[in-house]
Copies of this chain bind each other. A is one copy, B any other.
């Protein structure tokens, strides 16, 4: 069963799935290894500790999400249209997750921030880097939108943080109510936060 060849990837995949469903603290190494189909002894061959594994899970998840965000936000349409597609992709991913495992998992980064950031500085720092990067990506789009006159904000970094905070807050509700339709409000809230409210103009160009 290739315990050294693909054992690490299997542990990572199992941990990502289990952490998403049940959080970090409730999981034991034995359970992760069982789900990954690898002997428990091999865990410490790949990872120093459960914390090291959590960091690796965060890196894997961010690597994939960054690629998606980059493709969407760096696309060819108008800036607000790209932002809208980011929300649609987020909603679609949550819906697919709910379809496959029965519950809305929410955002792994938000989940681990609230569960762990006060308990381990390594994980706190990594999560800060991830959210800083998310905000910077959104900020670039907000700047573009402002340059085109599609948005009006006093401070584009602050506005980007408000958009990411709104995303996290609505993902929290989607998880709490196990209802992805909660996410539909994100777009109009985002427009309001970016001073792009009332723009039938924007609504028209984005459809």
Contact = CB atoms under 8 A, between A and B. Distances in A.
Contacts of A128: 176-177
B113 A176 contact: yes
B25 A114 contact: no
A189 B193 contact: yes
Interface string A35-75: 00000000000000000000000000000000000000000
Report copies per complex: 2
Given A127-B176, A185-B161, A115 B115 contact: yes
A178 B128 CA distance: 10
Contact of A103 (B116, B118, B172): B118
B165 A23 contact: no
A22 B25 CA distance: 10
Interface residues of A, number: 49
Contacts of A26: 25, 119
Nearest to A125: B176
Interface in A94-153: 103-106, 110-111, 113-119, 124, 127-128, 131
11 contacts: A22-B119, A23-B116, A23-B119, A113-B114, A114-B114, A114-B115, A114-B172, A118-B175, A127-B176, A165-B172, A195-B198
